[in-house]
Amino acid sequence: MTALGVVVALSALCFALLDLAPGSPAESILEARNGGRPPSAAEVARLERHMGLDDPLPQRYGRWVAGAVRGDFGLSYGSGRPVGEILAETAPWTALLTLVATAFSVAGAVAVGLVAAVTRRAWVRRGIETALFVLGGMPGFVTALLLLWVFAAWLRVLPSGGLARPGEPVTLGVLVPHLVLPALALAFGHHFGTYARLVETGVGRLRNAPHVANARARGLRGRTVTVRHLLRPGLVPFTARLGVGVGGLVAGAYATEQIFSWPGVGRQAILAARDQDYAVLTAVVLVTGVIVIVANLLGDLAVAWLDPRVRLAGRTTDGRH
């Protein structure tokens, strides 16, 4: 119920803020139809009546909610296409990009954080800290442009953007190299330094814990001690933060998709904002909010799996023993 309330509040806030934005979608549509010539006030008023934009805000929002419950988000103000069709075309590409970026981010953060936590070489730890400091102070779009310049323009080992070259069919073999750069830019341009430090802190505080020393004294293999007694409980703070961080990845996908010409909902939202296509914008914000809520829920479930104390605390709170 809490998640549903958040979604409703998010959609209402988005609807109200877009209503307060300067300009009129009807004016933008007429200007595009007239080849850039400003329309008259009468033309704008006539189209607003036809689109229902002159109705009171609560009435328009109620009409939108009634349609959204049925999966009908209305028509795009610009193209006239159903917004649901536009989301169906773009959301899978954003989901793919976000999932691959999350995998890159998790794998990299765990590897870097684990090395920083267990290494006894001071120069290695200092090098990792310096790299994380530099990466953490670099905006995500700068990371994207730097990767684009190095691997696409200078070394020319990866394509610069899109799903495929013009006229080339989108197959798995073609898609994978086009996916690498935007996924890396999204993974290492948002929260990566925070993730790695959380892994380092979580594992580091357990390195000399009694249960770890006891496991070593019992002759367990080093890999078993690291995975079962260090890494699994040490990942709890990182996992708790990861659920929130996925929202940052989705938000960061907006700029990343624009830079790499990736046809996802982020790029679609930027185009819709430019054209004042509020029907598309509202739907994109709603979908993004749902993704963030689901990611937080999955993060909580992962924390409960990694740390049995969380499950026990939940049972105690519910009155079940």
The whole-number mean pLDDT for each consecutive block of 10 residues of the chain, a chain of 321 residues, reads 76 82 79 79 85 86 86 82 91 91 90 85 88 83 91 92 88 93 88 85 76 70 68 76 76 86 90 84 83 78 68 51 47
- pLDDT at position 147: 93
- pLDDT at position 288: 81
Q: Which amino acid is at 255?
A: A
Beta carbons of 268 and 276 less than 8 angstroms apart: no
What's the rounded Cα separation, in Å, for the pair 4 and 156?
47
- pLDDT at position 53: 81
**Residue in 52, 54, 66 with CA at minimum distance from that of residue 11:** 66
Which position has the token pair 């996802």?
264
In the chain, what are the domains? 2-69 (no CATH), 87-318 (1.10.3720.10)
The alpha carbon dihedral of 136, 295, 312, 315 has a sign of positive
Beta carbons of 161 and 97 less than 8 angstroms apart: no
Angle between helices 278-306 and 83-118 (to 10 degrees): 30
What's the rounded Cα separation, in Å, for the pair 136 and 131?
8
